[in-house]
A and B are shown apart, each in its own frame.
Chain A
Amino acid sequence: MLDIKRFLLTTALFFVVLLNTEILFAQTIDLFAMQDAQDKKDTKDKTDIVTATFKTTRLINGQSIENVGRGILDVKISHRFGTLNSGAYNLFGLDNASMRMGVDYGITDRLMVGAGRSTYQKQFDAFLKYRIIRQSTGKRYMPFSVSYAASIALRTLDDPNANTIQKWYTDRLSYTHQLIIASKLNDFTSLQVMPTLIHYNSVPLAKNPNDLISVGVGFRERLSKRVNLTGEYYNQVTQLEGYFNSLSFGLDIETGGHVFQFHVSNSTGMTDKTFITETTGQWEKGDIHFGFNIARVFTVKKKKEIN
């Protein structure tokens, strides 16, 4: 009698427990809740690298913090027209154009190189740019990005005094070293500061220093999904006589696979040393050049797994 009672009690308990465990398990493995919890955790634990601080690798004349991606070849053709104040006879500068043709290539996601030829002073130039620090949010918080850019420019335009003064082709060389510090404040605004050192192998006068220091500042402000306003200004700390600080404003217009940059500037040249230290135009006198950069990217190295 007692055994039957005990048996019944145990069986009843068994079913109660069974029921309970089932409910318990249904609650434990709820993937939806698990996923929500993980999402919250991920935002804290993952580092998210900030991208698209600027729209392309050039702010206007100078370098921006951006690099082209690994295996991407970027062909750039840039034009600067004559000055606005040259009158209707020259169609406000459009009759005169200075051009730079160049190619940029991304060796790694952090390192890019480029080379170009400008009609202005018949210059050849080459540069490299390396991303040292990348702005990020999440687990590793970094409020800004830092890149180092170095360029070399060779002026091949015949010098009228060549027979008397110049002896070596190295006299025509100049070098630029630049630190680029940039921060994307939000989806709309990015800022950039560029301390710059330019070294001339040969300067016009003996009293001129060979090393010139400048500090550049730049910004990007998003106007719409496709249009960004940009600005760039270089303040020369030490400078050659007769030259002015470069000031430019531009619009970056995104058209599918490429970015079209349209701008106004008081600089004609497009190599670092030319627009930073050899800007001849003055805004207040109307020495303003219209200009544009067009770029077309080609994928040299494809990521295999996509197609």
Chain B
Amino acid sequence: MKRILLSFLILALSASAIQAQKLFATKKGQLKFNATGGVEAIAAVNNQVDSKMVDKTGQIVFSVLIKGFKFDNQLMEDHFNENYLESTKFPKADFKGFILNAASIDFSKDGKHNITAEGTLTIHNVAQKVSVPGTLTIADGKLSVMASFKIKIKDYGVTGLYIGDKIAPDAEIVLNCKYD
């Protein structure tokens, strides 16, 4: 009986090794946005995007601090935080979803894959279901994800002067995350 238990244990361990899901993470992803509607550039960058993904399930999350967006113009940054995104009330924006075609990707091989992520994008405490196309690159075992898409500012309850005028109604988002 002891032998059975021992083999049971070995098997359990090996089983978990086979089934192990790999977690990829970064805290230094980059997210740019551009909502220029007029002459003046309304653009910012955030270099502290927190992202994690699991290879087998394709589960993927992104989280950014609204205050982490840096503008050229300090006053614009203050207005962005105080009047538009209300960052003291809603300090973070995040995406929680799945890469739909994760199962068809061989994460052990180098390559470039077109992906579609579907999930919930929460900005300004308003959650919207989104489907975003992107690319997933594996090079030397390192994973990176890139995506470029547009969001309607009004969909997220962000109001204020100049939206649709100096501020474009759609903000263009460019995401670039290299995982550790």
Contacts and interface: CB of A to CB of B under 8 A. Distances in A.
Given A17-B8, A48-B67, A299 B72 contact: yes
Contact of B88 (A9, A22, A187, A302): A187
Interface residues of B, number: 53
A257 B41 CA distance: 11
Contacts of A32: 59, 61, 96
Contacts of B19: 18, 21-22, 25
A258 B21 CA distance: 51
Interface string B63-104: 101010011111111110111000011011010100000000
Given A34-B52, A257-B76, A29 B8 contact: no
Interface string A293-307: 000010100110111
A131 to B, nearest CB: 13
Given A51-B81, A52-B82, A306-B72, A14 B15 contact: yes
Contacts of A254: 79, 83
B61 A17 contact: no
A142 B61 CA distance: 32
Contact of A258 (B63, B75, B162): B75
Contact of B82 (A9, A43, A187, A299): A187
Contacts of B91: 43, 48
B63 A257 contact: no
Given A29-B23, A258-B75, A306 B8 contact: no
Nearest to A30: B59
A306 B21 contact: no
A31 interface: yes
Contacts of B79: 254
Interface string A252-286: 00101111000000000000000000000000000
A297 B79 CA distance: 14
